[in-house]
Amino acid sequence: MSRCKILSNKFSRYGILFVVSAPSGAGKTTLCDALRQTPDFVYSVSCTTRPPRSGEVDGEDYRFLSRDDFLARVKAGEFLEHAKVHEHYYGTLRQPLIDNLKKGVDVLIDIDTQGAAGIRNCGDPFVRDALTDVFIMPPNLEELRRRLTKRRTETAQQIEARLKTAAREMKHWRDYRYTIISKSMEEDLQKFRQIMGAERILSRRLILQ
Query: Binding residues for ligand 5GP, per CB under 6 A?
Result: 46, 50, 81, 83, 85, 90-92, 111-112, 114-115, 118
Pick the closer one to ligand 5GP by CB: 12 or 21: 21
Instruction: Give CA separation, 156 vs 25, 27, 196, 204, in Å.
Output: 14, 19, 37, 48
Pick the closer one to ligand 5GP by CB: 12 or 44: 44
Shortest Cβ 11–ligand 5GP spacing (Å): 32
Cα dihedral 202, 175, 86, 78, rounded to 10, equals: 40
Shortest Cβ 55–ligand 5GP spacing (Å): 12
Pick the closer one to ligand 5GP by CB: 149 or 153: 153
Shortest Cβ 81–ligand 5GP spacing (Å): 6
Shortest Cβ 196–ligand 5GP spacing (Å): 21
Q: How far apart are CA 76 and CA 35, in angstroms?
A: 33
Q: How far apart are CA 36 and CA 53, in angstroms?
A: 21
b/e burial code for range 74-91 (CB count within 10 A of at least 16 → b) = eeeebbbbbbeeeeebbb
Phi/psi for 84 (5° steps) reads -105, 120
Shortest Cβ 157–ligand 5GP spacing (Å): 16
Pick the closer one to ligand 5GP by CB: 12 or 46: 46
Pick the closer one to ligand 5GP by CB: 122 or 206: 122
